[in-house]
Amino acid sequence: MRAVVITGVSRGLGAALFDVSTTRGDRILAVGRHFSPEQQQLRDEHPGDVTLFSTDLADAHWLPDHDTLRAFLRDADDVVLIHNAAVVEPIGEIGRLTTQAITNSIAVNLTAPVVLTNTFLRAAPPDARMRILFISSGAARRVIDGWALYCTTKAAGETFFDVLSSQVREDERISITNVDPGQMDTGMQENIRRAATSGAYFPGRQRWVDAHAEGRLADPLAVAERILKEHAS
C-alpha cells in the first residue's frame, strides 16, 4: 500500500497531484490551509483513505508531528512525501520588501519542507520504500530580478535535498528528487501576472504575461501525471 503526503493541494499542481493520487488508490494526507469542497467531500466519503490536515505552513510548530505521520504511514510499504506548497511573493525590489513577506516566504518555501522532511524520515516504517519530491523551479538556478525570495528559497531547498540525497545514497529504498515542473496554468501564474501589472519592481514581467497570452502554460493535471509516473509510481 502506498501512502502519500502532499502539501498545498487547494489548487494548481497540488490539486492535480491530489486528484491523480486518489485516482490511483493511494492513501493521502493533504497538508495546508485550504481544501476544496470536492476534497472535503472525498475525505468525508473515504475517511480511511483521505486525511486533510489543516494548518498554516508558515508556522513550523503546527506541521504534522512524528506521531501524526507515524500513524498515517502505518502498514505502508511505499511512502511518498511531496513538497508542493510554495509562495512566489514577495515580488519587488530588495530594500522595499516587508519583513513579514520575507519571513513568510522563507517559512513556507524552505522551513516547512526541511522540518516536515526531518519528521517524515523518523516516522516512516523502517522497511518501506521511500520517495521525497521537492517541487522546485527554474528560478532555483537562474536569477529572476524581482524574485529574490523565491529564487533564494528554491535554491536553498534544492541544496538541502541534495545534501539529503548524499546522506542516503547507500540506501536503495530511498530516493530524493528535486523536480522542476516548468511553467503551468496555475494560481501562482495569476499572482505573477497580477504583480506584473501592479507596478511592482519586476523587469522581466513581459515574459510571464506573454506565456499566458500565447497559451504556453502547461496543464497542471498533465504535469502531475508525469511527475507521479516518473518519480512516485
Residue 203 resides in a domain: no
Residue 57 resides in a domain: yes
- What pLDDT shows up at residue 62? 97
Whether the pLDDT of residue 195 is over 80: the answer is no
- What pLDDT shows up at residue 187? 78
Mean pLDDT of the region 176-199: 85
The answer for residues whose C-beta is within 8 angstroms of residue 118's C-beta and 6 or more apart is: none
Cell of 129: 520504500
Neighbours of 38 (CB within 10 A): 11
Our measurement of the distance from residue 141's CA atom to the centroid of its chain's CA atoms, rounded to an integer in Å, reads 17
- Mind listing the pLDDT tens digit for each residue in 69-125? 999 999 999 999 999 999 999 999 999 999 999 999 999 999 999 999 999 999 999
Domain extent, residue 15, equals 2-182+219-231
The answer for residues whose C-beta is within 8 angstroms of residue 215's C-beta and 6 or more apart is: none
Which CATH number goes with the domain that contains 78?
Answer: 3.40.50.720
Residue 210 resides in a domain: no
Mean pLDDT of the region 114-143: 97
112 and 62 Cβ atoms separated by less than 8 Å: no
The enclosing H or E element of 159 equals: helix 148-167
Cell of 162: 541534495
Residue 201 resides in a domain: no
Number of structural domains in the chain: 1
Residue 34 resides in a domain: yes
Percent of the chain with pLDDT over 90: 85
- Mind listing the pLDDT tens digit for each residue in 150-163? 999 999 999 999 99
